[in-house]
Amino acid sequence: MNLVINLFAIERIKIIKNYLNQNEKVEVSKLSDMLNVSEVTIRKDLEKLETEGFLTRIHGGAVLRPKNSAVSFASQDTPVREENLFVEDHLQEIALIAVEMIEDNDSIMLTNGPINLEIAKNLHSKQNLTVLTNDLLIALELSRFPHIKSISLGGDTDFQSKATFGRLTLANMSHFYISKIFIEVDGFNEHVGFSVSNIDKATLIQEAVLNATSKIIVCPADCFNKTAFFKVGPLKIAEKIITNFNLDETYKRLICNNSIELFTSINLMEGSE
């Protein structure tokens, strides 16, 4: 009896490893269907593989742990902002919601920041898109897709954020009108409003919102109640806010009371299709 179960477990783990190597991610329910065992068993298997360092468990499934070699095109020879894996997950959740708001034939602007970079990475399914950005990494990322037109705003390049700012950028921007702007901010406080950590970025955003129909703020939940040094504007400049599910209740209430659409990344349904 014991032997049989052991053999099964070994078989299963082999299959899971193979599957992950091919697909990079997998859902618990799918494995359970595939191997005809309960989800409890699968979860145990994944736990084992996680301790081995082969994969990382996520909500409802697992992903292949990346090897040390270059992960994405942009990071090969350009320095990328350092984030740990946990934070990146949170940023990606926000980005995936933002992507759903973008329709074919839109012209959008992405200000510089890691969430907007995530958005850019997920735009390939859209058709006939025009993207305006001041972030060099975003422009670089988008240059991989032939069907997306990306316009990089020229100007002074900032060392830290790898983005362009300054009068030249502002002058360039005045040529365009955009239907949706995704603004990444670094802090929000009830009294101060939205704020960022760079004065040039603050000026850029203030100018950019004048040329946009729909203003969407993207901001991780832990940035609420933090204040960065440079003020961008009051809560009212936003039409939609996208943030994480764990946003504090007082802020949720505040945002709703100001009739702003609040999108949170509640990720409950397991699997897709």
Could you list the residues that contact other proteins (CB under 8 A)? 29, 38-41, 43, 59, 97, 100-101, 240, 245-246, 249, 252-253, 256-273
Beta carbon nearer to other proteins, 85 or 256: 256
Beta carbon nearer to other proteins, 167 or 253: 253
- Residue-wise DSSP of 175-238: T--EEEEEEE-SEEETTTEEEES-HHHHHHHHHHGGGEEEEEEE--GGGBTB--SEEEE-GGG-
Beta carbon nearer to other proteins, 160 or 272: 272
As measured in angstroms, the least distance from the Cβ of 264 to other proteins is 5
Contact in structure between 138 and 80 (CB atoms under 8 Å): no
**Exposed / middle / buried, residue 15 (Cβ in 10 Å: 0-12, 13-18, 19+):** middle
Contact in structure between 135 and 110 (CB atoms under 8 Å): yes
As measured in angstroms, the least distance from the Cβ of 261 to other proteins is 5
Q: How far apart are CA 26 and CA 84, in angstroms?
A: 22
The strand ranges marked E within 96-177 are 107-110, 129-133, 148-152, 156-158, 163-165
Q: How far apart are CA 55 and CA 42, in angstroms?
A: 13
Beta carbon nearer to other proteins, 75 or 246: 246
As measured in angstroms, the least distance from the Cβ of 235 to other proteins is 13
H-helix or E-strand spanning residue 62: strand 61-64
Beta carbon nearer to other proteins, 138 or 247: 247
Q: How far apart are CA 219 and CA 95, in angstroms?
A: 10
As measured in angstroms, the least distance from the Cβ of 45 to other proteins is 13
Beta carbon nearer to other proteins, 30 or 144: 30
Q: How far apart are CA 10 and CA 35, in angstroms?
A: 12
Beta carbon nearer to other proteins, 1 or 159: 1
As measured in angstroms, the least distance from the Cβ of 269 to other proteins is 4
As measured in angstroms, the least distance from the Cβ of 101 to other proteins is 7
As measured in angstroms, the least distance from the Cβ of 138 to other proteins is 22
Q: How far apart are CA 178 and CA 255, in angstroms?
A: 24
